[in-house]
A and B are shown apart, each in its own frame.
Chain A
Amino acid sequence: MVMFKAAFVREWRLLARQKADWLNPLMFFLIVLTLFPLGIGAKPNLLAEIAPGIIWIAALLSVLLGAERLFKDDYRQGVLEQLVAAEQPMLAYVLAKIVSSWCSTALPLLLMSPLIALLLGLDSAAWLAVFLTLLLGTPLLNLLASLGAALTLSADKGGILLALLILPLYIPLLIFASAAVDQASLGLDYSAQLAVLGAMLCLSLALVPLAVLKALKLNVG
């Protein structure tokens, strides 16, 4: 717990100093969102129909984009090696990284979601669904992205490789999240889809940090 707090506070400070680390993905998210109406056409009905998918795809791309930095600096500066060599319990460190990256990439998304609903012509029911799916889904996005970051840590050209590896794993999340929002816009109950998202989140919370640990040790050792 102490370790978690220490690591978390450190991450927070690093993010406060390097604002680009969290501002850039956010701007990327907004810009990608604006590309869709520009590319597909801004008919309000069409936009409202594809909005859930667009929001989710933009969110997942921006999380992936910001994922590479997660362990890179610590790896380059030898912090990881020290932690592994000192045989510190690294789970707290990994969790702190994931939670802080969620705070920095997903929280802003959640806070901006009303604005995005406005831009894409979503009504309030659909917006609520977007918000809830983002709430449940973004931790999952961050968990898997951190796994990708850990796996490709010492690889050359790791950035795009990270995306290639993790995108197929995002597909179930994308399917259920956009289905939930679709249901909401039809006025139907979508708690089942949310439950599935919650289940995926629980499963990932239990398993992914362990895989991240293994991947980190693998890259450092």
Chain B
Amino acid sequence: MFKWLDPYAKPETLYRICGLWFPWLMTAAVATLLLGNLWGLAFTPPDYQQGDSYRIIHIHVPSAIWSMGAYSSMAIAAFIALVWQVKAAQWAVGAIAPIGAVFTVIALFTGAAWGKPMWGTWWVWDARLTSQLILLFLYLGVIALAGAFADRQTGAKASALLAVVGVVNLPIIHFSVEWWNTLHQGATITKFAKPSIDASMLWPLLISILAFGLILAALTCLRLKTAILENEQHRPWVRQLAVSLAATPAKGSIAKSVTKEEV
């Protein structure tokens, strides 16, 4: 069924594709991020209850959504790597993990910074923040496991397996933490009440969500390129590439040099 994808899993092709897509994805990412955030920061009215502090939503929500989206993507890649032995998918797992971890840290930090003016403390053990914290541990575990082996291949495969195990646990953890939270509800209602969002506030949020998705895609392309190079060091095409780039000092994006090389 997926035979048509086979040529794209070939490392050299994949490297070239990532190189072509990266500049466009990154430009689009930066543009939409600036658009969404500036719109949300300066061009929307303040929230009735939360004043101007709610503007953090344009970062907190996208980063939280994509921290989970990145884990799912990583797990899908890991599954493909384990079942069909596709090396490129294995490398994708290692490429995505740090990006997802950074998104999770952003979500935690902005969650704390949002919580402080609203509920008086930097940290509350509410369901969403606690789930994000556990998600961070899961990411760090995948990253740590990959690096713990002398043989990089074994590490990549082991962390792929861990990613799949983690994704199965993710809904269980999420559900348990939510349930736990309802048990231990303090005197204050500590749920991150979604401000009933007005249409004017919705658009910048959606654009910001799109932006974070594009950032994930763009940076994955970039990191995947590095992973491909690292793992295919001994191939002629990599050797040619390295030598040609040493000869012509590469200024600007690598993609340009690659296409020059093709010509």
Task: Note whether A and B contact each other (Cβ less than 8 A).
Answer: yes
Give me the interface of A with B, judged by CB distance under 8 Å. Answer: 147, 151-152, 154-158, 161, 164-165, 167-169, 171-172, 175-176, 179, 182, 200, 207, 211, 214-215, 218-219
B173 touches A168 (CB 8 A): yes
Among A151, A168, A172, A182, the residue within 8 A (CB) of B158 is A151
A161 touches B148 (CB 8 A): yes
A168 touches B148 (CB 8 A): no
B138 contacts chain A at the CB level, 8 A cutoff: yes
B148 touches A175 (CB 8 A): no
Residues of A within 8 A of B179 (CB): 175, 179
A156 touches B173 (CB 8 A): no
B161 touches A154 (CB 8 A): no
B176 contacts chain A at the CB level, 8 A cutoff: yes
B165 touches A169 (CB 8 A): yes
Provided the pairs A172-B169, A179-B183 are in contact, do residues A167 and B137 lie with their beta carbons within 8 angstroms?
yes
B165 touches A211 (CB 8 A): yes
Closest 5 CB pairs of A and B: A172-B176, A155-B148, A165-B141, A168-B137, A175-B180
* Cα distance A171–B135 in the bound complex, in angstroms: 12
B68 to chain A, nearest CB (A): 14
* Cα distance A152–B144 in the bound complex, in angstroms: 11
B105 contacts chain A at the CB level, 8 A cutoff: no
Among A155, A164, A176, A207, the residue within 8 A (CB) of B149 is A155
Among B82, B145, B151, B176, the residue within 8 A (CB) of A151 is B145
Residues of A within 8 A of B41 (CB): none
Residues of A within 8 A of B177 (CB): 171-172, 175
A165 touches B183 (CB 8 A): no
Count B-side interface residues using an 8 Å CB cutoff.
31
B161 touches A215 (CB 8 A): yes
B134 touches A155 (CB 8 A): no
* Residue of B134, B166, B169 with most chain A CB atoms under a 10 A cut-off: B169
Q: Is the interface of A mostly helix, strand, loop or mixed?
A: helix
Residues of A within 8 A of B162 (CB): 151, 165
Known pairs A154-B154, A167-B137, A214-B82. 19 more at Cβ < 8 A? Answer: A156-B148, A157-B148, A161-B148, A164-B140, A164-B144, A165-B145, A168-B169, A168-B173, A169-B165, A169-B173, A171-B134, A171-B173, A172-B169, A182-B183, A200-B172, A214-B161, A215-B161, A218-B161, A219-B158
A215 touches B158 (CB 8 A): yes
A218 touches B154 (CB 8 A): yes
* Interface 1/0 per residue, B152-190 and A, CB below 8 Å: 001101100110111011001101110110010000000
Residues of A within 8 A of B141 (CB): 164-165, 168
Residues of A within 8 A of B164 (CB): 211
B150 contacts chain A at the CB level, 8 A cutoff: yes
B134 touches A161 (CB 8 A): no
Among A165, A168, A215, the residue within 8 A (CB) of B134 is A168
In the complex formed, the residue of A with least CB distance to B157 is A218
A211 touches B154 (CB 8 A): no
Q: Which of B118-147 contact A (CB under 8 A)?
A: 134, 137-138, 140-141, 144-145
In the complex formed, the residue of A with least CB distance to B151 is A154
B138 touches A155 (CB 8 A): no
Among A152, A169, A207, A211, the residue within 8 A (CB) of B145 is A152
Residues of B within 8 A of A168 (CB): 134, 137-138, 141, 166, 169, 173
Q: Which of B19-38 contact A (CB under 8 A)?
A: none
